[in-house]
Amino acid sequence: MALVLLCTSATNQKTTTIFIIGDSTAAKKDLSKGSPERGWGMALQCYFDETFIRVDNHAVNGRSSKSFIDEGRWQKVLDKLQPGDYVIIQFGHNDEKPQPARHTDPGSTFDYNYAKFIRETREHGGIPVVMNCVARRNWQASPDASKGKGEPMGTQIDDEALRNTTAMEAPLPLEGSGEVLLDTHGLYAVAPRDVAQRMHALFIDANKITHDLEQSLGPEGSKKLHMWYKPGEHPALPDGRQDNTHYNIYGAHQVAKLLADALCQEIPLLTKYRTNDKPCKMEK
């Protein structure tokens, strides 16, 4: 009878879903051509027991908080959201861009969209988890090379176009001889924290977590997190790649692992479902 009760209890255990909404740094990637590019959201499932925690990654390349809503992608998440599920919200890289279809302003439309995500998640019984944007690998010779005063250099960087930047070309504008990783997001990294505080929502400082990771590895070591390859180093990238934004397989795992730990710190209930850091493929 004890065995029957144990099996019944396990069967009745509800699977909780962690939804991810965001941009290319977290997104699913097309693996059909063998590219090593991965979003950290593809790796997150590796660090939670999928019997009890299911990661449903809706992040998409090139999306901002505005375009994610306007394209109906947010509604698709709401249609699937069940009470007790979590929604990780992470935008910023593309909200910085000047294109009207993507651009929002921190302290205004950017904050409004984050508040909308939080409010509507709660209305459906879900639990919002606010994250700010991950750091870019931005090593400059001096702070004077950035725009400064809260205005992000991100407006100068087309993250999606970096996929066409080969290693044969001149070093990227962000590549310098500095030893300090400089911010490119300005207030776009600050606004999510402000909204979370105002709305008493969980907040994870993904920008600081990834900044510290990049800084710990240094200018050369941090390349191994990103789509930074010499010509001929990877069969899918014969001309190499110089991309300071997007993660490769190793980088996506390192970031996902740190964010999984941060999730467990903010939500202790998840700790018992945190798996050992064992090898895990990100093919689904």
Interval 7-30: pLDDT, tens:
434 445 689 999 999 999 999 999
Note the pLDDT of residue 177: 54
Neighbouring residues of 81: CB distance < 8 A, sequence distance ≥ 6:
17, 19, 87, 121, 124, 125, 126
Q: What is the distance between the alpha carbons of residues 72 and 45, in angstroms, rounded to a whole number?
A: 25
Q: Say which residue the tokens 């205004």 belong to.
A: 108
N-to-C CA span, the chain: 38
Mean pLDDT of the chain: 88
Query: How much is the pTM?
Result: 0.88
* Mean of pLDDT values over 150-174: 61
Pair type for strands 86-90 and 53-57: unpaired
Q: What is the distance between the alpha carbons of residues 238 and 245, in angstroms, rounded to a whole number?
A: 20
Q: How confident is the model at residue 114 (pLDDT cuts 50, 70, 90)?
A: very high
Interval 177-231: pLDDT, tens:
567 888 999 999 999 999 999 999 999 999 999 999 999 999 999 999 999 999 9
Interval 52-95: pLDDT, tens:
999 999 999 999 999 999 999 999 999 999 999 999 999 999 99
pLDDT for 258 beyond 70: yes
Q: Say which residue the tokens 């990661």 belong to.
A: 55
Q: How confident is the model at residue 4 (pLDDT cuts 50, 70, 90)?
A: very low
φ, ψ of residue 203 to 5 degrees: the values are -130, 135
For the chain, percent of residues with pLDDT exceeding 90: 76
Query: Are the CB atoms for 209 and 254 separated by under 8 Å?
Result: no
Q: What is the distance between the alpha carbons of residues 96 and 110, in angstroms, rounded to a whole number?
A: 10
Closest by CA position to 219, among listed 137, 130, 116, 122: 137
Note the pLDDT of residue 147: 44
Q: Say which residue the tokens 């789509």 belong to.
A: 227
Q: How confident is the model at residue 168 (pLDDT cuts 50, 70, 90)?
A: low
Q: How confident is the model at residue 284 (pLDDT cuts 50, 70, 90)?
A: very low
The b-or-e profile of 246-258 (16+ CB within 10 A means b, else e) is bbbeebbbbbbbb
Neighbouring residues of 113: CB distance < 8 A, sequence distance ≥ 6:
65, 66, 69, 91, 104
Interval 84-94: pLDDT, tens:
999 999 999 99
pLDDT for 238 beyond 80: yes
Neighbouring residues of 79: CB distance < 8 A, sequence distance ≥ 6:
none
